[in-house]
Structure 1
Amino acid sequence: MVGNVTSDASQLADTNAQLDTVAAATARLLPAVAALTEADLVEPSLLPGWTRGHVLAHLSRNADSLVNLLLWARTGIETPQYASQFLREADIEAGAPRPLREQLEDLTASHERWLALARVMPADRWPTLVRNRKGGEMPATRVPWMRLVEVEIHHVDLDIGYAPADWSPEFVARLLPQCVTETEPADGTGFTVHATDTGYTGTVGTPATTISGPAADLAAWLIGRSPGTDLTGDLPTLGAWK
């Protein structure tokens, strides 16, 4: 019993630290959004077919979708991340044209709802298995990381001066191996990535070439946020990031 209590306490401390990291990332995002103009919202983001308004609407609805996963973990009642792919996309389209004040209020409120629920999650409910929107099973302990990925990557997608180089080393150290695991070359050509600043090395498929560069730049390329012009090596064509 003592061992279980110690394990729960350690897990809760780690989860609380992750929640602090998400809160800090959101605290960087919100003032940057507040500094935008109405005209800025209808300008293209770095995501094809999405304006900045689309990105903000998605961030808000994503926070609510992760509330669903936390409720699932807490109550044991299956609560899908999104009711359906159609409704997910419809909510983003409906939310994209809203004025800045509404976007900012929604982004702030949805973040606070999610964070408040996460802060009071009983320690013994965090290991509960839930499923993401693509059906992948995972413990609820992964939900804070999911939110951090959304906030950090979509902050870059807004194209308002925040870049992969601004990601923290800790974030990149976790993101890059995930990118390697989830990447599939569209042309079937495997490769190795080597981070020149951290020493990390990972492989995709059966490696035929090595791509080198700073860890943040490698991660940005793997998730389609960079053409990879700052990397060395023969860059294969990548499939969509999962």
Structure 2
Amino acid sequence: MIDHVHDLRSVREATDRLLTAVAKLDNAALSEESHLPGWTRGHVLAHLARNADALVNVFEGRPMYASAEAREADIARDADRPLEEQLADLRDSWNRFLATTEAPQDWSRTVELRNGVTDSAARIPFRRLVEVELHHVDLNIGYELTDLPAEFTTREIEFLADRWSGHGGVPATALAAEDGRSWRTGSAGEPTVTVHGTAAQLLAWLSGRADKGASLGTSGGPLPALPPL
């Protein structure tokens, strides 16, 4: 069951960690490469701020972004700002998001995201948590997939495994974590491939991060290729 109150608390904690870490950087560090190809740390921070505003749009019934082109242009426009401006924007956009979630609303309603994707309003706080946690890792400032809270890692594996569930381009696949937990993804039917490793390694593969599954073991076939997120 989705618990948006719990997830909002988790987003607060994750945002505090992010802001504390970013405040230790300097202007030069923002122009250095992130873990995302073609993006500096400044691009990542700009995206996080604009994503918060985009989710406010979702809550208030507006298009998440005016267009894909506008989304990219806003990130490019804001990427080169100095640290003080980046931090202020992150805080301000977070406060706007938080104020929106504190307003009375029907959390059971369906809302529309990008590209026609829909979801329950109650799941939006978790979607914001995903943005904050994974992009904190993407900043390449020492926060790694192995540092993510265990609950978040488990839920994100479940979320991403479900995303590819029933996808005809991905073979039926079992995911086996070293601690004994398991999931499945891919096309319908009995899994033909089993992918095994740590939870962090499984998350890296599903989210297209770190070594993208190179450190995982498989049985029954090679590591399946996943579509882009």
Same fold (TM over 0.5): yes
- Superposed CA offset, 1:179-215 (max 9, x none): 1122489975443211122512213226332110112
Task: Mark the CA change 1:129 to 1:159 in structure 2 (over 3 Å): closer, same or farther.
Answer: same
Contact 2:58 2:111 in 1 (8 A): yes
Q: SS of the residue aligned with 1:148?
A: helix
- Superposed CA offset, 1:129-170 (max 9, x none): 211112112221111011001000100000111111111121
Q: What is the alpha-carbon distance in structure 2 between the residues aligned to residue 135 and residue 187 of structure 1?
A: 21
Gaps in structure 2 of 5+ consecutive residues: none
Shift of residue 64, structure 1, vs aligned partner: 0.2
Letter in 1 for 2:127: M
Match of 2:224 in 1: 236
Q: Does 1:173 align with 2:154?
A: yes
Of 79, 83, 90, the match for 1:96: 79
Q: SS of the residue aligned with 2:114?
A: coil
What TM-score do the two structures reach when normalised by structure 2? 0.90
Letter in 1 for 2:27: E
Match of 1:70 in 2: 59
What TM-score do the two structures reach when normalised by structure 1? 0.85
The percentage of counterpart residues that share the same residue type is: 46
Task: Mark the CA change 1:23 to 1:223 in structure 2 (over 3 Å): closer, same or farther.
Answer: same
Letter in 2 for 1:191: T
Q: Does 1:219 align with 2:200?
A: no
Q: SS of the residue aligned with 1:240?
A: coil
Q: How is 1:29-40 mapped onto 2 (pairs within 5 angstroms)?
A: 29-40=18-29
Q: SS of the residue aligned with 1:134?
A: helix
Shift of residue 107, structure 1, vs aligned partner: 0.5
Q: Does 1:204 align with 2:174?
A: no
Q: How is 1:44-193 mapped onto 2 (pairs within 5 angstroms)?
A: 44-72=33-61, 79-122=62-105, 125-183=106-164, 188-193=170-175
Q: What is the alpha-carbon distance in structure 1 between the residues aligned to residue 82 and residue 168 of structure 2?
A: 39
Q: What is the alpha-carbon distance in structure 1 between the residues aligned to residue 168 and residue 184 of structure 2?
A: 18
Aligned residues: 222
CA RMSD of aligned residues (A): 2.1
- Superposed CA offset, 1:6-28 (max 9, x none): xxxx98xx322211110000000
The ranges of structure 1 where at least 4 consecutive aligned residues each deviate by more than 4 angstroms after the TM superposition are 184-190
